[in-house]
Amino acid sequence: MSDHVSRVPAATAPVVVAIDGPAGAGKSTVGRAVARRLGLEYLDTGAMYRAVTYGALRRGVPVHDDGAVAELVAALTIEIDHDGVRVDGVDATTAIRGREVTESVSAIAANSAVRAELVARQRAWVHERGGGVLEGRDIGTVVFPDATAKLFVTATPRVRAERRVAEMGGDVDEVEAAIVERDRKDSTRADSPLVEADGAIVIDTSEMGIDEVVDRIVADVQRRSSEGVA
């Protein structure tokens, strides 16, 4: 886009793939597969917001107390790797997906101190690795607006609810209502709302198979990195 970026030889430019979209759109499945195909590491940034929520609940910090949560996040250790998620050394892999965390995560994600801290950690993660695939709500808009490729992965609320129920169980109508409400909060918050990034490719996975979605993204990333498009 800028003169500076277009002069950088494509081979040395770090490849960053930004995948955003609403709850349950298939971002994790797609993101992991894209990372594998491109030989990059993958970061689920939603797990980081969930980890902070878990830390607050575990320590009895009220999730709406912005000051107390800001203090908590500054000192919180979050480790995410192939073994799972640990918060201050405690295994939280299963708990961060549970109902309690899911119901409180929007309040934590609306806290600007939490966002600033996690965005800094996400950028450091990419710099340490020289690239990566990141999935979340604000990757293409805030964290890496100059990403090699920006994808907005979505699907109808019904399809998203059905997928979530297939993974986690529950009642489809209830799960649909809960994800529509979480999307509303994510899309209307003041700090880094969920919106399509400028230049993002919108992929509706409602009627597309995972392989087709992954093929499209990989082809797009390869085209952009060989053209040096940022």
Interface ranges with ligand CDP (CB under 6 A):
23-24, 45-46, 49-50, 105-106, 109, 136-138, 182, 186
Longest dimension (CA), the chain: 53
CA-nearest of 43, 64, 42 to 53 is 64
Structure-token match 């950088």, residue found = 8
Q: Which is nearer to ligand CDP, 49 or 152 (CB)?
A: 49
Question: Please, what is the minimum distance in Å from the beta carbon of residue 130 to ligand CDP?
Answer: 21
Instruction: Give pairs for 215-220: CB < 8 Å, separation 24+.
Output: 217/17, 217/19, 217/30, 217/34, 217/149, 217/151, 218/34, 218/37, 218/38, 220/149, 220/151
The residue among 173 and 227 lying less far from ligand CDP, judged by its C-beta, is 173
Structure tokens that stand for 145 in this block: 């607006």
Closer CB to ligand CDP, 122 or 148, in the complex: 122
Q: How many CB atoms lie within 10 A of CB 188?
A: 10
| Distance in Å, CB of 216 to ligand CDP, minimum | 20
CB of 122 to ligand CDP, least distance (A): 8
Q: Kindly state the smallest distance separating residue 190's Cβ from ligand CDP, in Å.
A: 12
Residue 174 or 227 with smaller CB distance to ligand CDP: 174
